[in-house]
Copies of this chain bind each other. A is one copy, B any other.
Amino acid sequence: MAEAGESSGRVYKHAGDQRWEGLARQEYKSPAHHWQGVSRTEIVAENPRPTLPFHVRYFEIEPGGFSSRERHDHEHVVMIVRGQGTVWLGSASKDICEGDVVHVGPGETHQFLADRGDRLGFYCIVPAERDRPVVEGGGASACEIPPTRAKSP
């Protein structure tokens, strides 16, 4: 017997190809000077859960694409689940591939690149309350561009 409040959680079913039932994937196909070929899916975020202290998003970078080189005070953690590429943490770069977990420290300049002939897909966990990224060279972060600018697949 179901009790009130028992079904507050939810299973977000994977629909294949790193897409989830009922969730929009925001594609940013147009090249920009500071990021390129990035898509974003907000899986567990503010809506409908304002009480959650962290948000879970999935990003995928096309082969040859890259995220903005940026920094922010909030820490985040990224779990690579598809493909391979490179991450810059401060002044050091590392190869990354499926299974690797990346912790970006507070204020640390970072960038993810799908620069190894493959796409790079990862879950990205951020605090619900967070400061805006500062992009090196200026401009908007692919993490922060509002969904209204997204093109549907």
A residues near B (Cβ < 8 Å) are 1-3, 5-14, 16, 18, 20, 43-44, 49, 51-54, 56, 74-75, 77, 79-81, 87, 89-92, 94, 96-110, 123, 125, 127
Pairs across A and B, CB under 8 Å, 9 listed: A1-B91, A6-B92, A6-B109, A7-B105, A9-B108, A11-B87, A44-B101, A79-B79, A123-B123
A96 to B2, CA, bound (A): 20
| Given A2-B90, A12-B100, A16-B99, 11 other A-B residues pairs in contact with their CB atoms under 8 A | A2-B91, A5-B105, A5-B107, A7-B105, A9-B103, A10-B103, A11-B89, A12-B102, A14-B97, A20-B101, A79-B79
| Nearest-Cβ distance from residue A55 to partner chain B, whole angstroms | 9
Q: Which residues of B contact A49 (CB under 8 A)?
A: 75, 103, 105
Q: Which residues of B contact A14 (CB under 8 A)?
A: 80, 97-101
A26 to B105, CA, bound (A): 26
Q: Which residues of B contact A43 (CB under 8 A)?
A: 101
**Beyond A2-B92, A125-B125, is A9–B56 a contact (Cβ under 8 Å)?**
no
Among B6, B16, B94, contact of A11 (Cβ-Cβ < 8 Å): B94
Contact at B56–A79, with CB atoms within 8 Å? yes
Q: Which residues of B contact A92 (CB under 8 A)?
A: 2, 6-7
Nearest CB in chain B to that of A128: its residue:
B53
